[in-house]
Structure 1
Amino acid sequence: MNKTLLLILLLGSPFSFAEKPQQAGIASAHPLATAAGHEMLAQGGNAFDAAIAISATLAVVEQQSSGIGGGGFWLLHRAQDGKNIMIDGRETAPAAAHRDMYLDENGDVNRDLMLYGPMAAAIPGEIAGFAHIADHYGKLPLKQSLQPAIRAAEDGFKVYPRLVKHINNKQKVLARYPSSKAIYLPQGQPLKVGDILVQKDLAETLKRVAEKGPEGFYEGETAEKLVAAVKANGGIWTLDDLKNYQVKERAVITTNYQGQQLITAPPPSSGGIALATMLNILQPWDLATMAQADRVHLVTEAMRRAYRDRSLYLGDPDFVSIPTQRLTHPYYAAGLRAAINPDKALPSEYLPGVGDSPKGENTTHFSVIDAEGNLVAATLTVNTGLASGFIAEGTGVLLNNEMDDFSAKRGVPNAYGLTGGEANQIEAGKRPLSSMTPTFVVGDDGVAVLGTPGGSRIITMVMLGILDYFDGHDVKSWVTKPRYHHQYLPDALSSEKGTFDADTLKALKAKGHTVKVYDGQWGNMHAVHWDKKTGEVNAASDPRTETGSAVVK
């Protein structure tokens, strides 16, 4: 066997080394971030350098969704050797964290403590992710890739409606902390659309990282300021918590659907396993030829079962044993499929497991294809909109509230309505379970790179985008298509307004579904497609938000 063939078999890569796109495509949540990525490509960098620049710039201009006080997953495909890997920069629980830390004297979860202020914050992983990607996959020094973000923080950017909405929604929490109030509520009033937001402290923090690497964040001046601010406001971080943070490389989840390979996120993301389970269940059915109500019913029943397994089995793989092979095996899906009645919904209470509405857009995603065929799908988060609301004095760093992604008490839902069990209970050094699902779909004719924010709805939105791709629609359609969702508990099929017509709603209710239609829109999907027959690259950003930016050069 020749070495090239052996390498392909070992890495599971479907790529031929001779194939390259004619262009580079980037789709992200903000024009400054998309431009930062293309700037790195123009300077001789690759998709991985672009990913650092995009991530760091989003940390400045889209703080309601991500930031260097948070973490994320970067799914990478390296064209030169076909390597697929996920960089896990997920946050970790501080060393002083423990299972019952958010329970009051009555044994009830203190939601304020778990969501707001420094007690809500896990140890950030985003900076460690940047450094790891630069050291192992990029062409450019980290200092160079951080320059667009430093400019955006130092010079400022124009405030836009979505950011203003989150500031207004979290105004009372932001007002608790002088450092947060100074940034988001200058002169005691929320920022307005069109204001210029300058963040000098954040720029200085990024400069220290540019000069010193990750040690400029996890040790020294920045670390000391972070810990001092956290402790002064009742938190439990220590300098050792920061110094001991480690980024992880995770083997990807792979599955096949309709003859194409999916490469997606492994635990501590629940997304890849749930996606594989759902698509394996749906594999035998010809969804494209079905009436809408019949198709939605079957997809919903697949969602219900995958989310039930999420609540039971999934957590940080460094702490719990996850039956990944079983959960992603076609035989397991066949057993789940056998219990699906094509004419009747199965109440979630009939599926033994753990035991209002899931929320928003408070995460970010971007997709990149460069001219060498390198791919990045990255989903980054601080959890809920504007996270804990706490900016650490003198750093400009808005801290995440990812501790809410743990199960604080068995059967008690988090901010997104998700319930969890022992696999996702709080433990020192543990990563909370995530729904982030950056994904590649690879076939003989093309490659799709996609993902979205959206809390508990992330996984189902990615699946609906994938199904739309398999229906033969273009990248603009994937990001635009109306969305629906079921997550096992609460037992309801929810949808965006206008997703179903009156006849479909009637038919779904006749099958036993409780359907809840919401006025709001979900997610903020950004996707790129490479047509391998022509070399053409296309990119699209979700029209649901005003700042999406998709550029092909």
Structure 2
Amino acid sequence: MFTNQFFNKKPIHAWLLCLFFVFGFFADRNYANVPAAVVSAHPLATAAGTKILNEGGNAFDAAVAVSAVLAVVEPYASGLGGGGFWLLHNATNARDIMIDGREIAPLEASEHMYLNRDGQPIPGKSLNGPIAAGIPGTPAALVHLTQNFGQLTLAQNLKPAIQLARDGFKVDQRFARTLRYHEKKLAQYPDTAKIFLPDGKLPVAGDWFRQPQLAGTLNEIAKSGMNGFYHGSVAKELVHSVRKAGGVWREQDLYHYKIVAREPVQFEYRNTRITTASLPSAGGLTLAQAFNILEYLPLDKDDSDNQAHLITEILRLTYKDRIELLGDSDFDQVPAKKLLSKGYAREQAALIDPEQAGKSILKQSIVNESVETTHFSIIDKAGNRVAATMSINTFFGSGFVAGNTGILLNNEMDDFSKGRNIPNIFGLYGSHANMIAPGKRPLSSMSPTFVENDKGILIVGTPGGSRIISMLFLVILDYINNNQMDPQKLVEMPRFHHQYLPDFIQVEPDAFDPGWIASLQAKGHEVRIMSQKWGNMQLILFDKENQQTRAASDPRGLSDTHY
């Protein structure tokens, strides 16, 4: 049994009640008879979280189990070779904390490592192979969560993932489609192909998929904690395989990896408290700016066309600041106080013309739609909450499995700025604040979030690369301004996006009528209907009035067009 002053832990006994595994009741001084819930992007991960709660674990134990199982059953979206942010809430003392398990740049990394002699990016170098991988943070986060906040042992929390990796699970349609679309990438490296193309064949839906090497690494972590990944035989194999294939990791990189516990960004909008990720996530500061600016604008909820125009202009301004000012605040000075101030929001709002689109400067960039991440949300019967977003960046990360570890490495180094006017895979630019430096964390869009007012509580987040922040902005607005209390309608709502550059509004296919698009074009906006929908939001809503908890999973996650 682990103890921690931050969290008061009591045994939990829960039972399965419905599809989203809603169960139990938490005894909070403000609420009574409130069911708990687990919701994730995969039913096996949701079931694992439920199992841990049934066995006496709390929400933080369940978060470890869900994170680890997603690494096994969604290897294209997250994993032990990546990182993430875990936003935690303690119901007893109402304190929040963000566990920063973001990847870091290796010690041999440098500002110009992905550029040629002319200062131009070498195609694919920051995306493919071990040279593209930052030092993973997910294993450290799982150990940290268990030891500091959990009630069970690490072995108990990792047991469901170990069993699924060792014994296997049936490939579902989404996994099969993803494998098919990325077969060429997976075939590049022998240790990757051995796992994902067994006997040279592409697994199809219904096939049994096993990862015994990954099970072995999970076992090492279960037995030895941090030493099971960042020291010893696993660490040596990781570094040996990475360097042999042209990467720059050292054992020292792994030895020195540290989790950082950070204060989340917290702000209010219309009597609603929003708690979300802090730097190196751009989400918190960008969302806070957006809502602060909104307070100084005439947002008519009955005029959807005008709403879209104003929201677009808010996103244009806030994403401009993301590009120019944000990075790892442990390395570079970020003017967070100014960005969060009401005075600055008033100045920004004054720049918005209610009748005419603004203009973004610099050259255009290409929007790449093939990106992936994962999110889950949990509330336990004690009222503890977790919102967690994890990633290896693009589908299957760098494509490189490190030797016999079974670990598929991230390509998060692409999230750093590589030079002036050079966008990353998401079309995002950056400044010196996000340039590569040894030990530095790249800027991220992952934004696990809590939203609370008199009506209820949202525990929410989503994958979606640069669009994560705009998705959350739209959902939180719908919840607050439109009193939307149906969680399924929140996750299903149509989406549009603007990120300063490229200077056009991105719109989901079949989401908005021609009149809506024409009204924005009349104000000077370029509107482009994208080829695919985006996001895979996982949301829990606790209705305070009815003392009910409901969970919703984004149907886009099961869509044939969501790759």
TM class by smaller structure: over 0.9
- 1:479 matches 2:495: no
Task: Give the Cα separation in 2 of the matches to 1:106 and 1:163.
Answer: 40
**Pair 323,20 (structure 1): closer, same or farther in 2 beyond 3 Å:** farther
Per the alignment, residue 311 of structure 1 pairs with: 323
Letter in 2 for 1:483: R
Q: CA deviation at 1:355?
A: 10
Helix, strand or coil at the partner of 1:192: coil
- 1:419 matches 2:429: yes
Of 126, 129, 132, the match for 2:141: 129
Task: Give the Cα separation in 2 of the matches to 1:283 and 1:373.
Answer: 31
Task: Give the Cα separation in 1 of the matches to 2:432 and 2:177.
Answer: 35
Task: Give the Cα separation in 2 of the matches to 1:406 and 1:284.
Answer: 33
Deviation by residue 1:341-373 (Cα, 9 ceiling, x = unmatched): 111000112xx8999214355000011111111
- 1:448 matches 2:458: yes
Structure 1 stretches (4+) deviating beyond 4 angstroms? Answer: 352-355
Per the alignment, residue 507 of structure 1 pairs with: 519
Provide TM-score, normalisation by structure 1: 0.94
Per the alignment, residue 131 of structure 2 pairs with: 119
Task: Give the Cα separation in 1 of the matches to 2:386 and 2:224.
Answer: 25
Of 34, 40, 52, the match for 2:52: 40
Q: CA deviation at 1:23?
A: 1.0
Per the alignment, residue 403 of structure 2 pairs with: 393
Deviation by residue 1:369-390 (Cα, 9 ceiling, x = unmatched): 1111111110000000000000
Assess if the C-alpha contact under 8 Å between 1:355 and 1:410 holds in 2: no
Per the alignment, residue 155 of structure 2 pairs with: 143
Task: Give the Cα separation in 1 of the matches to 2:294 and 2:86.
Answer: 27
Q: CA deviation at 1:131?
A: 1.0
Assess if the C-alpha contact under 8 Å between 1:361 and 1:522 holds in 2: no
Of 92, 113, 131, the match for 1:101: 113
Identity of aligned residues (%): 47
Task: Give the Cα separation in 2 of the matches to 1:509 and 1:439.
Answer: 32
Of 93, 98, 107, the match for 1:81: 93
Matches within 5 A, 1:139-538: 139-285=151-297, 287=299, 289-349=301-361, 356-470=366-480, 471-473=482-484, 474-538=486-550
Deviation by residue 1:30-73 (Cα, 9 ceiling, x = unmatched): 00100111111111111111100000000001011100000000
Assess if the C-alpha contact under 8 Å between 1:375 and 1:449 holds in 2: yes
The more displaced of 21-30 and 307-316 is 21-30
Q: CA deviation at 1:465?
A: 1.2
Helix, strand or coil at the partner of 2:377: strand
Letter in 2 for 1:439: T
Unpaired segments ≥5 residues, structure 1: 1-14, 549-553
Task: Give the Cα separation in 2 of the matches to 1:425 and 1:223.
Answer: 27
The more displaced of 296-305 and 100-109 is 100-109
Task: Give the Cα separation in 2 of the matches to 1:113 and 1:505.
Answer: 38
Per the alignment, residue 553 of structure 2 pairs with: 541
- In the alignment of these two chains, the number of paired residues is 532
Deviation by residue 1:134-181 (Cα, 9 ceiling, x = unmatched): 111111111110011111101111212332333233322221211100
Assess if the C-alpha contact under 8 Å between 1:366 and 1:379 holds in 2: yes
Assess if the C-alpha contact under 8 Å between 1:408 and 1:426 holds in 2: yes
Task: Give the Cα separation in 2 of the matches to 1:86 and 1:516.
Answer: 36
Q: CA deviation at 1:408?
A: 1.1
Per the alignment, residue 11 of structure 2 pairs with: none
Letter in 1 for 2:453: G
Helix, strand or coil at the partner of 2:76: coil
Assess if the C-alpha contact under 8 Å between 2:283 and 2:445 holds in 1: yes
Q: CA deviation at 1:414?
A: 0.4
Task: Give the Cα separation in 1 of the matches to 2:559 and 2:234.
Answer: 31
Q: CA deviation at 1:286?
A: 5.8
Task: Give the Cα separation in 2 of the matches to 1:464 and 1:530.
Answer: 19
Provide TM-score, normalisation by structure 2: 0.92
Helix, strand or coil at the partner of 2:331: coil
Q: CA deviation at 1:444?
A: 2.2
Letter in 2 for 1:441: V
Assess if the C-alpha contact under 8 Å between 1:440 and 1:450 holds in 2: yes
Unpaired segments ≥5 residues, structure 2: 1-26
Letter in 1 for 2:206: G
The more displaced of 296-305 and 102-111 is 102-111
Helix, strand or coil at the partner of 1:94: coil
Assess if the C-alpha contact under 8 Å between 1:28 and 1:541 holds in 2: yes
Task: Give the Cα separation in 2 of the matches to 1:73 and 1:353.
Answer: 32
**Pair 519,176 (structure 1): closer, same or farther in 2 beyond 3 Å:** closer
Deviation by residue 1:217-269 (Cα, 9 ceiling, x = unmatched): 00001101111110110111111100100000011101111111000000000
**Pair 359,503 (structure 1): closer, same or farther in 2 beyond 3 Å:** same
Task: Give the Cα separation in 2 of the matches to 1:481 and 1:208.
Answer: 43
Task: Give the Cα separation in 2 of the matches to 1:475 and 1:18.
Answer: 22
Task: Give the Cα separation in 1 of the matches to 2:273 and 2:28.
Answer: 14
Helix, strand or coil at the partner of 1:279: helix
Assess if the C-alpha contact under 8 Å between 1:404 and 1:414 holds in 2: yes
Per the alignment, residue 21 of structure 2 pairs with: none
**Pair 21,308 (structure 1): closer, same or farther in 2 beyond 3 Å:** farther
